[in-house]
Amino acid sequence: MSAVELSPEQVHGIAPSAQGVAGDSASPEAIRKLSHQLANPKLAVKAQRKALEKLKAALMAIRAGDFPLGAKRALDALKLDETNGLAWHVLAICREKSGDLGQALLAYEAALKLLPNETDVAHDLGRLAQQMGYLEIAEKLLLKYLAADPGHVEATNNLACVQRDQKRYGDAVETLRALLGVEPESPVLWNTLGTVLSDQGDMGTALTFFEEALRHDPAFAKARYNRANARQPLGDALGALEDIEAALPGAESPYERAMMTMAKAMLLMTLGRIPEGFEAYDVRLDPHLPESMRVAVAAPRWDPKTEEIRGKRLLIVGEQGIADEMVFGTCIGDAIEAVGPEGQVYVAVEARLVGLFQRTFPTAIVGGHRAVKLEGRITRYVPFVEEIEGGIDAYIPMASLLAVFRPSVEAFPDRRGYLQADADKVAYWTAELEKLGPGLKVGLHWKSLVLTGSRARYFSSFERWRPVLTTPGAIMVNLQCGDVSDDLAAAEAAGVSIWTPPIDLKDDLEDVAALSKALDLVIGPGIAGTNLAAAVGATAWMITAPDDWHFLATDKYPFYPHLRFFRRESFAEWEGAIARIREALEEAVERGNAA
């Protein structure tokens, strides 16, 4: 599987995702089927007979839960007969259960090529492809399976999961509804119906369906996990944590266990249980999560609990998306102090942020990182570190600094931002804004460039922002990157004038930072641009989601203490939050400032 270079927008924070996919390639029933296929084969070649014995040994290892040994026996069989489709299928199962999803995908593909009429292979491959985000491939394979076995509960359920992940919510509901009419007591189908609703932000209705799934099967771990993810944004974080802890023992795979542990970590942070939550958050790097990050540097990871870092050469590696680098970067100064003047800190951030971080931390050496997707995993590498004579002593992912330097809420510094915008650029944009005439200059963000799956529930349509856009005495400035020409044209047609600065709002982040600082106010959801404004100390108002963990059980945003936030009480509650912003903006116009 070749490496694919990723754009920065393709790498973002891992969030607990809804779990609905059904089926286990290593279930007793699945292994029985494979055993029957191995029974009484017509093998005339000695090598094939030896391969058969290796495969029987592999199945014994799978039954014992020893998947590495099962993979070894399957590979032994393939050395004897590389055209053995069953051996490829067994190898794929072992790779999948061991968490090596990239190699599992390759093995399933090889098995299907050799066994084109074997629908169980198609089902297993379709399920794995869905988990890894290859949705079109998954849909084709699942439809192939259902053509041979219409009404199969697991395959129908998994097809609905693919449709959900493609944001084809109506299709997913119809797929499930048709089979629920025949299988009304299926907890699997009720659970997935709940995930279709939760993905759209309708947590109340989703909760009803998850509880129906649990009524039919109280031990159904997926449904309990999904119920936790619905309870938290509904205001019941403690109940959600109880559900997660009850669900974890029932996780069916390393992937499910990692995803549930991720949800637990975020709940611990929501409840202010730090550093316990920050330490648990290390699960974001678990290789069983398809979106986890692997750091490709020739140095060990720093273990703060056992290793002294003073005087060492430490690389801090930015992770997830730009907004996350803003949040986690708040600890870089602490790391520089810990290393001391006799050591050296290197910082790898998204290339567009290098200037900002280098200006802020002049004693550090700052460079850009890059990312590729290899064997289904994000691999981050740091080209500038490869040129350092003598290399580095250790590295640490940026978010892991929280557990070291923020052991309590009190450890968060009370400051107005921490990054330094270019002073000359701030002066330039201040002069440009003055040319727009009198009035409060307000910069606006309203959506993310990444709106896949459940991420869409965190953002509103542009039309909903109309009360803010029409605030008398406020001059609106577009800070939204991407193609928003339709939104701006609609605003213009409605008589709302929005000034767009003559810069690339996606790539010219030095200018965006300086412009944000020069503006009287920046408003937006918790995306990169709003975080950038807060990080450089601009006056920023953020509209936050009901499941935002960054409050750490406080009444402020500890990462940016000066930030003013407008919290949505539910995913659907946009009008109320925007109305509160409009009211606050009117007051700011009357005062003549938004600070």
Q: Taking the CA atoms of the chain, what radius of gyration do you get in angstroms?
A: 26
Is there a contact between 364 and 332 (Cβ–Cβ < 8 Å)? yes
Residue with structure tokens 């995803």?
259
pLDDT on residue 320 = 86
pLDDT on residue 408 = 95
451: CB partners within 8 A, 6+ apart: 459
3-state secondary structure at position 13: coil
Alpha carbon distance 107, 442 (integer Å):
54
Is there a contact between 162 and 142 (Cβ–Cβ < 8 Å)? yes
pLDDT on residue 254 = 85
Percentages helix, strand, coil for the chain, rounded to the nearest 5? 55, 10, 35
pLDDT on residue 51 = 81
- One DSSP character per residue, 547-577 reads T-GGGTTSSS-TTSTT-EEEE-SSTT--HHH
H/E/C letters for each residue in 267-315?
A: HHHHCCCCCHHHHHHHHHHCCCCCCCEEEECCCCECCCCCCCCCCCEEE
* Partner residues linked to 525 by β-bridges: 543
Name the residue type at position 68: P
Query: pLDDT in tens for each of the 595 residues of the chain?
Result: 455 565 665 555 566 666 666 666 656 666 666 666 666 555 445 657 788 888 888 888 888 889 899 999 999 999 988 888 888 988 988 888 887 878 888 888 898 888 888 878 888 888 888 877 888 988 988 998 898 889 889 999 999 999 999 999 999 999 999 999 999 999 999 999 999 999 998 999 999 999 999 999 999 999 999 999 999 999 999 999 999 999 999 998 888 999 999 999 999 999 999 999 999 999 999 988 878 899 999 999 999 999 999 999 999 999 988 999 999 999 999 999 999 999 999 999 999 999 999 999 999 999 999 988 776 678 999 999 988 988 999 999 999 999 999 999 999 999 999 999 999 999 999 999 999 999 999 999 987 655 455 656 777 788 889 999 999 999 999 999 888 888 889 888 888 899 999 999 999 999 999 999 999 999 999 999 999 999 999 999 999 999 999 999 999 999 999 999 999 988 888 889 999 999 999 999 999 998 8
Is there a contact between 434 and 364 (Cβ–Cβ < 8 Å)? no
Q: DSSP letter for 370, please.
A: E
For 111, phi then psi, to 5°, come to -65, -45
Buried/exposed 459-498: b ≥16 CB within 10 Å, e otherwise: bbebeebeebbebeebbbbbbbbeebeebbeebeeeeeeb
> Within 10 A of 341 (CB to CB), how many other CB atoms are there?
10
**Burial group, residue 36, by CB count within 10 angstroms (0-12, 13-18, 19+):** exposed
pLDDT on residue 26 = 58
pLDDT on residue 7 = 60
Alpha carbon distance 28, 493 (integer Å):
63
Q: Would the CA dihedral through 404, 564, 567, 164 be positive or negative?
A: negative
Q: Which of 313, 322, 302, 312 is nearest to 401 (CA)?
A: 302
422: CB partners within 8 A, 6+ apart: 355, 359, 510, 513, 514
Tokens describing residue 471: 């605030």
Alpha carbon distance 582, 587 (integer Å):
9
pLDDT on residue 459 = 73
Tokens describing residue 215: 């009524």
Q: DSSP letter for 49, please.
A: H
Alpha carbon distance 75, 152 (integer Å):
31
> Within 10 A of 499 (CB to CB), how many other CB atoms are there?
15
Alpha carbon distance 556, 575 (integer Å):
22
Is there a contact between 574 and 447 (Cβ–Cβ < 8 Å)? no
Alpha carbon distance 195, 212 (integer Å):
13
Q: Which of 419, 120, 397 is nearest to 285 (CA)?
A: 397
Alpha carbon distance 479, 178 (integer Å):
45
pLDDT on residue 297 = 94
For 310, phi then psi, to 5°, come to -60, 135
Alpha carbon distance 107, 283 (integer Å):
27
Tokens describing residue 362: 């002049």
Alpha carbon distance 287, 99 (integer Å):
7
